[in-house]
Amino acid sequence: MGNLDNLSFSDCVRDLAEVISSFSTPPVLLAMNLGALMALKVCEQTKPSALILVSPSPPGNLAAARSRPQRLLWLKYRLLILLRRPFPIDEKDFRAYFLTPLPENLQSALARQTVAESSALVREFLLPRAHLEAGSLSCPTLVLGGSDDHIMPAATTNRIAAWLGGEFKEYPGQGHWLIEHDGENIVRDIHRWIIHKLGEKILLAEFS
């Protein structure tokens, strides 16, 4: 818990950059939610073979893209954030904004796995400060979003994809945690996209 007290967004970006740089061949990077924003920041200093972003958080310079639930959660949790101590999102909020429309049994299972999070990371998710340069990335980019995502609406996710010069795929009837709802088909779509974009490069890559 002591580590979480001081864990910052920039700490996570630095650690992720070190992991990516440790590969002899640039890896395919898949990230979700706030992790997707970290991945985008990492791409400013490293070059993955391809980038897949699932329900990504918008950067601070797309702040107008913040959803109503993000603004409401900021109002609710800002005092806890200012205390700079780890805390968990209430289960009611987690279910309402992140887990719908997953089945109840799956929502319960995921809710039981929630733990306290760094207040700095919660702040970055609810009121992002990380800025990115607009324009195409140097690697193929795919952005995925659910049509029923309340915290990161599909319109916002599509806007992020266009802003990055990437491709966008929307999954009808799915929410923020879309990888849990129809994971097999989503993984199949990602696999097809990687093969289409990288072809033999991905088959010949030698990872250390």
Confidence of residue 202 (pLDDT cuts 50, 70, 90): low
- The pair of structure tokens assigned to 41 is 């920041």
User: What pLDDT, in 10s, does the model give residues 115-145?
Assistant: 899 999 999 999 988 988 766 678 999 999 9
Mean pLDDT of the 53-76 span: 88
Confidence of residue 2 (pLDDT cuts 50, 70, 90): very low
Structure confidence at residue 65 (pLDDT): 67
Nearest of 43, 45, 66, 48 to residue 56 by alpha carbon = 66
Mean of the per-residue pLDDT values for the chain? Answer: 89
Cα separation of 180 and 188, whole Å?
14
Confidence of residue 203 (pLDDT cuts 50, 70, 90): low
Spelled out in words, what is the top-level CATH class assigned to the domain 2-204?
Answer: alpha beta
Mean pLDDT of the 27-38 span: 95
Cα separation of 197 and 208, whole Å?
22
- In degrees, rounded to 5, the angle at the alpha carbon of residue 151 between the alpha carbons of residues 147 and 154 is 30
pLDDT at 63 over 90: no
pLDDT at 93 over 80: yes
Structure confidence at residue 207 (pLDDT): 43
Q: Enter the pTM of the model.
A: 0.90
Domain positions in the chain: 2-204
